[in-house]
Structure formats: C-alpha cells, structure tokens
Amino acid sequence: MEMLRKLQYFTTTAKIASEWVSAYTGIQVISNRVTPGHRDSKGRPEWYDLLTGIGRGSLPTLLVNDIGLELAYNPGTVVGLCGSILEHEVRAWGSGDRVCYAHFMREAVRQRLGVNAAGWVMQNIYGKYLPSHVASAKGFIP
C-alpha cells in the first residue's frame, strides 16, 4: 500500500491512485483467449499473481507446467500463483465465453517509487495474528 500512497502524490497518477482499491499495481483483462505457457517476467519471484476466472459454460484448465499440476479453472475460481517462477497456461476451454482478471505487481513500479521490497511471506507473519490455541493447533512456528 506504500506504493499506492506514493502514486497519489504525482499529478499524472493522483486521480486514479486515489480511486484504486487494489494492492496490485495492475490488472489485465483476458477475454476468450488461450494463454500459451509462460512466466511473468516483470514481477518478483516472491510476489503472487491473482487469477480470477469468470464466464458461462466454459470448462478451462489451468496448467502449471513446472510442477505437473492441472487445476479445474471453472468460473468463480481464484488462483494465487508465483507467476514469475512457475510456467502456467490455459488451453482451449470448450464452449462459452470466459474472462480472466489477472492481478499483478510490477518491479519497475516498486523501484520507481523507491518502496522497499517486502520479501517472502513467512508462516510466522500469519501466526502472530491467530489466537494462540489456533496457532499451536495448526503447528504455526512462533
């Protein structure tokens, strides 16, 4: 959110930054398109892209080729993915229309605004917000 606050100070981005409600710096709309296998090279390895699929009657599959994973990617599915590390694709989905909203971060935006990189998400970050009995039952590391 530090990047969003900094974008609010520039005259060219102030208006949109004051209305932007996402922690991500960009959203791409992909409509009725097969997506060949690829990695997203403009983010950081520790950042998760968020893929949201919507539509009617489509039965797409999200393939994560590097780990041999094939996920049902039905309308309403949301997937968090380290897109710069894992090659991923969506092949033909059959009949019906489909749209994917791909939320992402750009390293160039972070650098331009002088915001420190947050680093990898660690289990103890979540554990400190849980009640102690839940954290211990789930095996969270203090």
Instruction: Determine the pLDDT at residue 1.
Output: 58
Global confidence as pTM: 0.74
* Mean pLDDT for the stretch of residues 38-46: 92
* Mean pLDDT for the stretch of residues 58-80: 89
Angstrom distance (rounded) from CA 49 to CA 52: 10
Summarize pLDDT for 103-128 with one digit per residue, the tens. Answer: 999 999 889 888 888 888 777 777 77
Instruction: Determine the pLDDT at residue 49.
Output: 94
Angstrom distance (rounded) from CA 114 to CA 60: 39
Instruction: Determine the pLDDT at residue 92.
Output: 81
Angstrom distance (rounded) from CA 49 to CA 32: 20
Which pair of structure tokens corresponds to residue 35? 């997506």
pLDDT at 134 over 90: no
